[in-house]
Each structure stands twice: as structure tokens, then as C-alpha cells.
Structure 1
């Protein structure tokens, strides 16, 4: 997580409003405070107190470099693809919580099946910290986009399930310590 930093946007930028997940635009010259720079996105707070997410592709508007996806292994067999899936899911963050979705306990399963093309079909089962979370579809899309970019992946299906419901006990010890819950 980055230290809080005040930044003036160098150009207009599309954003996602937090927590409702609605799209919006911030104009050039808007002053924002960098709240979180984790994974592939930036969470900023405007002078009006609105928390928004800026995609890595728009990092230049913040004077930052875009994040780049890095894989752990280059092989495309199902076991290697699964390993890469878990690693890239660790780069996806809830924009309000400085912990990745894997350590938060939001990912229930990752299933990789080879297909005839020699590539793989990936199915992810995940949940949200709260049913009806406005950022749910955004986080779901982040997971899908990250996995789709991996070598050896032909298709991705990210299913959001609400049973069993998420609870703090599903978080890793690392996440609980990081959030001061221990």
C-alpha cells in the first residue's frame, strides 16, 4: 500500500465510484488523495470525500506507471495455469480493504480443465464480503480479466456465490494481522 499522497490529475479519467460501482469521470485538474495503490488499480479520495477507483491503464493521469501482469510459470499445463491463476488473483484487491481477495478468503475454488485446443478452461468460485456489494461486479471483472490474460487460458468463468456467506474467519492469518484483527 502506498503512503497517502495528494495528486492533481493531468487529464480527464474514467473512474468507478466506491462503494456503489457506478462509472463516473474526474476532470483534469481534480485534486485527489491516493488511498491505496495495490494490485492493478488505484483507490483515491476526492476533495469532496468521494472514494473512487482508477484503473491501472489510467495510471498516467496520476503520474504513475501502469502495473504489469507477471506470471509465476510459463508452462500451460492445467497445474501451472492453476498456480498462475492463484498468483494473479492475489493481485486483485477490494478497493476499500488493503488485502487481496485470496487472503480475504473470497475465492472458494479455482478449477482448470484442459480443452481440445490445447489450452484450458478456468472456473472460479468466489464470494463477496457483503451480499449486494456494488463493487462485486467490478472485482469479478478484475478476476476474469487477469486470468484471461494468462498463457494457456482459453476461457474463464467467474461465478459469484453467496453460500456459504463470507465471514472474517475465512481470512488468512496474514490478512487478519494486516487489518489489526489479531
Structure 2
């Protein structure tokens, strides 16, 4: 099993995300992470999908997604030549007894404290998925009240990359 980050440029209109996600679901492919947003061109959206599977299945996923009418381009992102980021919001039970400890952890990871009350603290952290995982691991002794984590969003490093257009 290998982890693959797919970048899909699609026509920006309603129903496209549903069509892409349902293609994965109908074929029994499990999506680890999915994000979507508009690009610099308002007619185009970028869908970033993270999947785990063997190379043959991943090749099939790419071919089937490329066949969708709305797909402009689909390509796999090489992690060593790409920037991958996630956003985490986490609310920790933090009172006067442990607030200093939690604040020190936030400083080490460069997390921002964005809300503070007598009994809790909300932190925001942006970074590579491994950094987010490490931060959550260090916070595991504390009571996590709520948590929200985006999926991976990614771009290739450097200038415009030449990928074949589907259409």
C-alpha cells in the first residue's frame, strides 16, 4: 500500500465534487483526505485527494477520474517536490494547573492560541501532516474537548509544471 496525493483540476460548477467522490465510492476506493477550492481561474477548481492503495489500483483511479467530463487535468504529486499542508483547530481542557504546560507545547510547535477561557484553550496549527500528527501525539495526555482537521492541500514547488490536459 502506498500513499498518493492526487491533484485534480476540474470545471468549477455544482455537482463536480459529488461526481468525483462518488466515482471513488462506487469503486470501493477509500479517501483519506479531500479538499477542494477555486483556483486563480474562477472557472477551475482544484481537488486534492489523499488515498492509500497499491500502484495498480492507483493507476486505475487516475484513469477513471481522467475520463470524467469535468476533469481538466489529474496528476500525482511527488511529496519531495510538493508543498503539503493541513490546518488543525483543537480545543484542550486547560485550567490554571496545566495551562502553562499546554502553552509551552503550543510555542514549540508554533501553534497559535486563538481562544482562551477559564477551562479551555483553542489552538490553531498549520503544517505538514506529520507535524500535525506529532502535535496531537504530544497533546494526547491532555483532554481534547473538540478537534477539527482539514484535509491535505498541496501544490508542486517551482514554476508551472507541465501535465497533460485531459480534454
**Would you tell me which structure has more helix in proportion to its own residues?**
2
TM-score of the superposition, structure 1-length normalised? Answer: 0.31
Which structure would you say has the larger RCO, counting Cα contacts within 8 Å and 6 or more residues apart?
Answer: 2
Larger radius of gyration between Structure 1 and Structure 2: 2
Identify the structure with the greater strand proportion: 2
Normalising by structure 2, we get a TM-score of 0.33
